[in-house]
Structure 1
Amino acid sequence: MNGRALVAWNLRRLRTERGISQERLAADAGVDRAYISELEREQGNVTVDLLDRLAFVLDVAVGEFFAASPEAGGRISPLPAGRKPRRP
């Protein structure tokens, strides 16, 4: 797996494990949601500065984006579609 694919896979894995939507991650990191989508689809190039911001939002070390795991390349279940119900 090349570097871009590894970052893309780990970004999506970390985001979905925490139940964070692309929209929320993008807003918290100060980028457009479409850019997060591009990164997860291996279409965009990420800077170290953005990796720092994403790591901060996801509460992980930057190195987590480069961590190879046994299931790397496997399917990651998407978050449920639609908006979450408002809290009372």
Structure 2
Amino acid sequence: MNGRALVAWNLRRLRTERGVSQERLAADAGVDRAYVSELERELGNASVDMLDKLASVLGVATGDFLTVPPEGHGAIKPLAAGRKPRQS
């Protein structure tokens, strides 16, 4: 797995584990949602500064984006579509 693929896999893993949408992550990091999508699909190339911003929003270390997935890992399941129900 190359560096771009590692970043893409870990970005999606970390984001979905925390229940954060691409839209929320992008807004909190001050970038366009389409850019986050490009990173997760291995189409974009993030700078170290951008990885720092994303890591800060997700509450992880920047190096966590370069963690090698376990042997036999599968695709990361997406978050459920649609808005979350309002809490009363």
| Structure 1 residues 87 and 23, CA gap change in structure 2 (3 angstroms) | same
- Give TM-score scaled by structure 1 length: 0.95
Q: Give, in angstroms, the shift of residue 24 of structure 1.
A: 0.1
Q: Report the 3-state secondary structure (helix = DSSP H, G, I; strand = E; otherwise coil) of the residue aligned with 1:53.
A: helix
Deviates more, 1:69-78 or 1:52-61: 69-78
Instruction: Indicate the residue corresponding to 1:6 in structure 2.
Output: 6
Q: Report the 3-state secondary structure (helix = DSSP H, G, I; strand = E; otherwise coil) of the residue aligned with 1:68.
A: coil
Instruction: Indicate the residue corresponding to 2:35 in structure 1.
Output: 35
Alignment of 1:1-88 (within 5 A): 1-71=1-71, 74-88=74-88
Q: Give, in angstroms, the shift of residue 55 of structure 1.
A: 0.4
**Counterpart amino acid of 1:34?**
A
Question: Aligned equivalents of 2:72 and 2:84: distance in 1?
Answer: 29
Q: Give, in angstroms, the shift of residue 87 of structure 1.
A: 2.0
Give me the CA root mean square deviation.
Answer: 1.2
Question: Aligned equivalents of 1:50 and 1:72: distance in 2?
Answer: 29
- Give TM-score scaled by structure 2 length: 0.95
Give ranges in structure 2 of 5+ residues lacking alignment: none
Deviations 1:57-85 (A, max 9, x none): 00000000001121575211110000111
Question: Aligned equivalents of 2:52 and 2:72: distance in 1?
Answer: 22
Give ranges in structure 1 of 5+ residues lacking alignment: none
